[in-house]
Structure 1
Amino acid sequence: MPVAALATVAAAVAVVAGIATPVATSTAAAPAGVTIVAGDAETTLSAVRVDGANVKFQGLTVRIPAAGEGVQAAAESTSGDLSITVSRSADGTVVVRTDKHEYAAASSSQAAPESHVAQAAAASTARANAAKTCTDSAYALSGWKLSSFKWYYNPAGAPAAVRAGAPASISAATTSLTRACGKKSIKLAPSYGGATAAAVQVGAAGNCTGNDGRNVIGWRAGSGRWLGMTCTYFKSINGRKTVTGTDTALNTQYKFFTSAKSCSGAYDLQSVVLHERGHSLGLNHVSQASHASAVMTPALAPCSVGKRSLGLGDYRGLAATYGVR
């Protein structure tokens, strides 16, 4: 059932590059008396479908949460990034935010080594606009905080090419969240809970399937065009959004690598995980054209290991949320 926007009724606030800016909010028709509201000016409700208790956008699906709760599905694909965030206020109003970033081949605003079409016999360490990595301070926030980051790894279904190296790459990406550009360490203390048989609660089609309160990363034979997808659940407590569970799935229909020694059309596991971890911790996407060196841009080329560490903007967003030591 398509959801059509009816009227602009209010103003909301979005945080982009650390600066609050006013945005328009729209109401929309919805089934069973549920009121759907667009949370920002970038969200077009005509592109959103409500199917019973499910809200769908560009192949991503989340269930309408309980009052005071929310969920985000964020996917990094071979052609860009998608996300949908659905939250429900105490009065039952459902707020929807969508985000879509696409990128193409190298242009004047994108360095060739980070082009989607780049292929190499050996993995490239180049980073788009590398000179700006520690000078570009732009970031965007989702508005939530993960107070305790104990995570687990489910190795089931791991591709043979990365089975041995995956735990170390995932751990390295997670550790990289705490530092960047010679700055003070961020007050994050990710801890590894060990291997688990608990399922990653991300469906093959790009749907968030539930929240068991355990932060699991693992593998899924996805049917969508996504490299990695993260489902994050949160609650609003005393006006603050706190994460209650966040799972990340890595799509085995694509090839990954963990060693920078060689590559043939595969994607760097550590870089994909670092981007998805950013979503779990409350970072949103920033513009590829303007902030190409940031981890939270959509561009990740095959055979590139150029984004295994945070840029200054990524760091500043996490520091603003969690503080520094």
Structure 2
Amino acid sequence: MCPSLSNMSFWFTDHLDEFRRLRTEFWNTPSVIEELKAYEARNDDYEYKILKGLVPKPLVGRVTNNVGPAWQTSDTFFTDFPEHNYPNRVLSSTEHSHIICNVACHDTRLYSSDIDPSSLDNTAAAGMSYMHLLVIPSSKVYNAISLSNTKLITEMKAHFLYFWNRDDSVNKVNRAIYDAMERRHAGVVRAYQRNDDSTAPQRLALLDAVMEECRISAVDFANTLRMNMSSTDVVFGFHSHPHHSVGHLHMHVLLSDPQFRTYSTLAHDWKTLSFEAVEHALGGDEAEPSIPGGWPA
């Protein structure tokens, strides 16, 4: 059964047990400490076999987005994020963390089989709610499962709450969501044109019709969020190793109200562990909670 984001506290015990189980398995994996040390030291000569979500090998040595240095073996798509992306992709920064918008569009309709260039149902690639933000550390940290205490995730949450209470936050968020939607549309159009398929005109016509519906609903969501921001519930969650996508710690920040998830994917709810459960497992206010196998010296 998939937990509802609007009632994540109900699933606290299940999330806590699951995170503890995954954490024990992770720290009992042979050579995991050696591999983590190589990752944190940016060792690009190391052969990573345990850690997941690094930059795909075909992209190593290449520059993507026309921004920043070439990707290295130990990098992830969140490594040195501001250097690899245009400035407007970063909504807020502190010394320790950045707030970014999910690169995926929030609307599953732009990933359906009749729209996706692959003609496959790719709706699981969409965002998890109208607002799907990520808070990522500026330092190289693998996953919630590799943390030794709660200091970093506490800062990440505090950073978001500070940002959320700023006067300009809702406009920055809505703009980032709009930009992600338009990038998805442009990417699909380019893919149709590259395919040079005889069905391209018909597919483009359908895409335009669907995109118009997406824009209308996005405006409605944006206005609703703007008018009800102070009473809108936000939830924080983590995808623990080995169920994560990017091998760099990131905290998902989502709108829990079902109306904001009308066109978003529910495919990842099952693996979204609540902030509270992860915080508790990491020891809460304890400075150094125990780690199975011991924290590396």
Q: Which of the two has greater strand per residue?
A: 1
TM over 0.5: no
The one of the two structures with greater contact order (alpha-carbon pairs below 8 A, sep at least 6) is 2
**Larger Rg, first or second structure (1 or 2):** 2
